[in-house]
């Protein structure tokens, strides 16, 4: 249903049948406040980081621990994860399993997420199941709602012009690709200062 709503909003905006501010507000809500998107960090954040990522992306696997370290080092930051299956069927399968875990057993999501990110190379059904077994989530089966969440993420990525992973929104900046930790931290400090000045 949310996918249909987003498409409808975008079509209406394109043909001038919706106020631009309404469309922008709905889009912002879907990016930052979608409850089906995993999140960690501050409950009332001064700064939100939204990371579009793929469990088969080697650059995502390098960048993900840096994002988790930022959340640990800066308690006023919240990290939101948007899974984008850009790299084949196993990307879609792992994304769906992870998103279903977030909805059904959120306390086990981060362990599964880290396990899926830690695998070198591309996932297959066996490696996804192994990650689930290691995190005691093997009883969780991907469902239709997780498919809808992935579709929404794919549409959002098109709207934002994201062509690869990782892609990360830090405050009002969209960062394409993985960057060094020092550069990420500098951007976070800059965006926090901007947020605190408002």
pLDDT, average across residues 147-168: 90
- Sheet with 47-53, edge to edge strand ranges: 39-41, 77-83, 47-53, 167-170, 173-176
Q: What's the chain's average pLDDT?
A: 88
Count Cα neighbours of 152 within 13 Å in the Cβ-side half-sphere: 28
Tokens of 61: 């696997």
Encode pLDDT of 86-120 as tens digits: 888 999 999 999 999 999 999 999 999 999 999 99
Query: Is the pLDDT reported for residue 173 higher than 80?
Result: yes
SS3 of residue 36 by DSSP: coil
Encode pLDDT of 61-89 as tens digits: 999 999 999 999 999 999 999 999 988 89
SS3 of residue 120 by DSSP: coil
> Residue 23 — pLDDT band, cuts 50, 70, 90?
low
Domain ranges of the chain: 49-188
Query: Is the pLDDT reported for residue 11 higher than 60?
Result: no
Q: Which residue blocks in the chain are alpha helix, DSSP H?
A: 2-14, 20-32, 58-73, 89-104, 106-118, 125-134, 144-160, 181-197
Where on the phi/psi map is residue 136: left (φ > 0), alpha (ψ -120 to 50), or beta? left
Query: d(Cα 58, Cα 107) in Å, to the nearest integer?
Result: 26
Where is average pLDDT lowest: 28-32, 44-48, 137-141, 188-192? 28-32
| pLDDT for residue 21 | 56
Query: d(Cα 98, Cα 14) in Å, to the nearest integer?
Result: 33
Q: Which residues contact 140 (CB under 8 A, 6 or more apart)?
A: 97, 100, 101, 104, 105, 132
Query: d(Cα 56, Cα 86) in Å, to the nearest integer?
Result: 8
| pLDDT for residue 133 | 97
Query: What CATH fold (topology level) applies to the domain 49-188?
Result: Glutaredoxin (3.40.30)
């Amino acid at each position: 249903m949310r996918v249909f709503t987003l498409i409808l909003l975008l079509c209406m905006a394109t043909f001038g049948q919706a106020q631009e501010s309404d469309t922008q507000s709905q889009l912002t809500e879907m990016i930052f406040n979608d409850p089906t998107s995993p999140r960690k960090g501050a409950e009332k954040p001064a700064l939100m980081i939204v990371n579009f990522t793929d469990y088969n992306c080697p650059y995502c696997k390098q960048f993900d621990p840096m994002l988790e370290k930022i959340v640990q080092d800066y308690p006023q930051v919240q990290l939101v994860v948007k899974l984008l299956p850009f790299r084949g069927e196993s990307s879609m399968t792992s994304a769906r399993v992870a998103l279903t875990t977030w909805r059904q057993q959120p306390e086990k999501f981060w362990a599964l997420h880290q396990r899926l990110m830690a695998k070198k190379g591309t996932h297959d059904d066996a490696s996804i199941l192994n990650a689930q077994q290691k995190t005691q989530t093997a009883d969780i089966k991907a469902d239709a709602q997780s498919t809808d969440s992935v579709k929404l993420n794919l549409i959002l990525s098109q709207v934002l012009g994201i062509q690869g992973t990782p892609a990360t929104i830090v405050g009002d900046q969209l960062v394409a690709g993985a960057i060094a930790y020092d550069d990420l931290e500098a951007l976070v400090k800059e965006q926090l200062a901007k947020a605190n000045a408002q």
